[in-house]
Structures are given as C-alpha cells and as structure tokens.
C-alpha cells in the first residue's frame, strides 16, 4: 500500500517543486551535481546521510518528520473506511480535518489519499462537478491494485449508478471486486454491487451479493449496515412479489430500530417502504396508517405525498386526495415527482368517470418515461394504472398493446 522503493526520491522531488526550485538551483544550494540529484529523485541512487542533510537544509525540511504526516494520512483514510463500513457518515469531521491541515497534506506524496476521501464524499453527496474535477487528479495518482484503487473504482461505480449509466457502473464495480483484498471494503463493494443489480431488475444476483455483504457486516460487527441489508432485502422481496416476506422483514427492522441509534430518515424510509407494499396489496387503510407515522418524521417527502394521494384516490376519498394535492403544489416544480404528481392530479379530477384522453396520454407519458429509464421499481405499477384506464375507456387496441407489453415483462 506504500510508495515502494522510491519514497525518499519522491519526497525530494515533491519538496523541490514545492520550493519552486530546478535541479540546477538545488545543485547550487547543495553542491550536489544536478544529474546526481535527478538519480536521487528517480530512486536510481540513495543519498548518503551527509548529502541528505544538505538537501534538507536547502529545502528547509526534515524528511524523517514527513513520516508522521504519512502515518497521519494513512490513519485518516482507514478511519474514513470505518466510517463508511459502520455507517457513521460523519463526513463533516473529515472535511474539517482536511481543510485545517490541507497545506501540510498538499506537500505530501500521499495527498491523493486525501483527494480520495474528498472524492467519495462528493459522490455520496451527489456533487457531480466536484467529483469530476477530483477524478482528473485521481486517474493519474491512485496506485494500481491497491486498497485505494479498490475504493476509487467502487465509488466511480456508485457515481455511474447514480447517473443511471449502468454499463459503466458494472465495469467499475466488477474491477473493484476483482482486486479487493480488504474485508471491510469487499463488504461495501458487494453492497453497492447488489444495489446496482437491483436497479437493473436482476433480483437474484442482487440477493446473492446482498447476502454476502450482510454476512461480512455481521462478522465486522457493523449492525447498522446489516440492518440496511435487511431493508434492501425487503425491497427485493417487494419487487419479486413476495409481499408478506417483505412486510415481515420491514417490521423486524422497525423493531430493531428501537434498540439502535438510527436517524429519522432511515425510520421514515422503512415506514414508507412498508406502506408501499400495503399499496401493492391494495390494503390502502393500512398503508395510510403507516404513512401517518412516516409523515411525522419526514412530512414533505415526495413519495409519501404520492402514496397518500393514491390511497385516498383508490378508496374513493377524492376530497382528501384533492386537499393533499392543493397543499403540495410545489411538486409540479420538482423534476423527479412532477409527472407522477400531475398524473395523480388528473386521476383525482377525473374521479370515477370514464377516463379522459388527457388522462390516458399522461399515464402513457409517465409509463414510457419510466420504461425508457428502466426504473423497474415504478414502471410496473404505472403500467397497471395505464392498463386500467384503457380498460375503463374501452380502448381495446391500446389495451391489447399494453397487455402484451405486460406479458412480455413477465408481470
């Protein structure tokens, strides 16, 4: 994991450049010929103690002292790996340390490890421009076949996944897994690899990698991550139609949360996921009861709002659905929700009347957009909405077309 045989040479070159000196200028300050200084920097020759002291005086540095910074950076990145593994996610702590000591870290040969920490944080915070800029540096500085390359490839995969560039994400994830030799990192790669398979509708592979990740998290006493695996496993059961198993697992997770320090966001997410399964089972009253609990924790969540509108609409409680729509008009301007929100608005306005052409066209648009982006977790649900509308409208040709699609999808 270290810098190999030429650590001293790298440090001489790094500090010479930091002091804005050419080899000829360092020659003038030390009396050591520039050709020989070049050999020192390239690791071809090692300076004796007397020469080393002259170089240190000229550069105003003690190379032995730099080992302390090397060790400090190494400790920081391993602490960061633990933060990811144990799901502490206290990123501000690392950002504060880096900003406070950046001047010291910048003139260290292991500064790329600091860049790597910043890169991973930028990916997890969806700061795409920041991550793009850091990649330009990391592409040429991360040593191949090391723990640090594993981390870099893993989070390049995470970034590509978030951008829905699935093919690229798979390439990076597979490469990271092939060279991974550190258990904590392997566990995280398996976890992210599972999420990638999941979003591509490859549920058996998602389940396999998730089970491997969970066992590694348990072996490393990362119980938050293990519970997170259970939450994801419940999502897989939901996708394959094993609704009772999904609910059992989600209820078990909610019970465990009573004995574990878990933030409101994770509790709310698990409640919403449970409510979603009840929606798929057409148990709308049960879903609404659970959504009320989730709403206390995260009142303005877009999915929660959509779920409540759908439940009220399905129960024929159109006034309640209209009130939620009126109270949340801002969703018309939120890109990830606006089309579905508009569709639900049309559904509620239409009520139990024969579906209008405008309503059917909106349902087609929502489904086609989801299908184009391969958003499997939503596209089947909205395909069923479209099929129901076409059936109620008596549009047999279009109905047959979309029923064939549903059959082709194996739904």
Question: Mean of the pLDDT values across residues 184-202?
Answer: 95
Residue span(s) of the chain under CATH 1.25.40.10 come to 222-299
pLDDT higher than threshold 50 for residue 153:
yes
pLDDT higher than threshold 50 for residue 2:
no
Average pLDDT, the chain: 91
Contact 200, 184 (CB under 8 A): no
277-290 burial, b at 16+ Cβ within 10 Å, e below that, comes to: bbbeeebbebbbeb
The rounded distance, in Å, linking the Cα atoms of 218 and 207 is 16
Q: Alpha-carbon torsion 271, 274, 278, 279, what sign?
A: positive
Fold of the domain built from segment(s) 222-299: 1.25.40
Fold of the domain built from segment(s) 4-61: 434 Repressor (Amino-terminal Domain) (1.10.260)
Q: Interhelix angle for 357-372 vs 376-393, to 10°? A: 160
Residue span(s) of the chain under CATH 1.10.260.40 come to 4-61
Strands (E), 109-226: none
- Indicate the pTM of the whole model: 0.80
The pLDDT assigned to 211 comes to 97
Contact 180, 210 (CB under 8 A): no
The rounded distance, in Å, linking the Cα atoms of 26 and 59 is 8
pLDDT higher than threshold 70 for residue 243:
yes
The rounded distance, in Å, linking the Cα atoms of 138 and 225 is 28
Choose the most confident range, by mean pLDDT, from 39-48, 73-82, 106-115: 73-82
The pLDDT assigned to 14 comes to 76
Element holding 56 (H helix, E strand)? helix 49-59
The pLDDT assigned to 3 comes to 45
Interval 256-301: pLDDT, tens: 998 888 889 999 999 999 999 999 999 999 999 999 999 999 999 9
Residue 368, both tokens: 């086609």
């Amino acid at each position: 994991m270290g810098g190999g045989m030429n650590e001293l040479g790298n440090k001489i070159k790094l500090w010479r450049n930091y002091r804005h000196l050419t080899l000829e200028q360092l020659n003038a300050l030390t009396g050591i010929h520039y050709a020989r200084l070049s050999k020192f920097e390239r690791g071809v020759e090692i300076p004796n103690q007397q020469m080393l002291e002259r170089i240190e005086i000229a550069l105003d540095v003690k190379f032995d002292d730099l080992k302390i910074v090397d060790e400090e950076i190494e400790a920081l990145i391993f602490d960061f790996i633990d933060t990811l593994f144990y799901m502490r996610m206290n990123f501000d702590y690392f950002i504060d340390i880096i900003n406070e000591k950046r001047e010291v870290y910048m003139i260290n040969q292991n500064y790329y490890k600091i860049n790597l920490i910043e890169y991973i944080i930028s990916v997890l915070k969806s700061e795409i421009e920041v991550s793009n800029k850091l990649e330009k540096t990391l592409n040429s500085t991360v040593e191949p076949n090391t723990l640090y390359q594993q981390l870099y490839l893993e989070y390049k995969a995470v970034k590509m996944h978030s951008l829905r560039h699935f093919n690229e994400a798979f390439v990076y994830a597979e490469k990271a897994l092939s060279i991974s030799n550190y258990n904590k990192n392997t566990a995280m790669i398996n976890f992210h690899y599972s999420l990638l398979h999941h979003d591509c509708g490859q549920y058996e592979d998602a389940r396999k990698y998730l089970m491997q990740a969970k066992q590694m998290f348990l072996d490393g006493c990362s119980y938050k991550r293990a519970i997170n695996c259970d939450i994801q496993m419940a999502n897989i059961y939901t996708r394959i139609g094993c609704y009772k198993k999904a609910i059992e697992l989600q209820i078990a997770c909610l019970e465990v949360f009573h004995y574990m320090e878990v933030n409101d966001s994770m509790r709310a997410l698990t409640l919403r996921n449970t409510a979603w399964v009840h929606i798929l089972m057409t148990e709308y009253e049960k879903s609404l009861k659970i959504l009320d609990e989730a709403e206390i924790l995260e009142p303005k969540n877009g999915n929660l709002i959509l779920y409540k509108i759908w439940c009220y609409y399905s129960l024929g409680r159109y006034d309640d659905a209209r009130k939620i729509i009126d109270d949340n008009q801002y969703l018309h301007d939120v890109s990830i929700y606006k089309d579905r929100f508009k569709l639900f608005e049309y559904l509620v306005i239409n009520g139990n009347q024969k579906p209008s052409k405008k309503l059917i066209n909106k349902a087609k648009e929502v489904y086609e957009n989801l299908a184009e982006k391969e958003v499997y977790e939503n596209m089947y649900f909205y395909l069923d909405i479209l099929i129901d509308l076409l059936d109620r409208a008596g549009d047999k040709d279009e109905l047959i077309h979309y029923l064939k699609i549903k059959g082709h999808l194996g739904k």
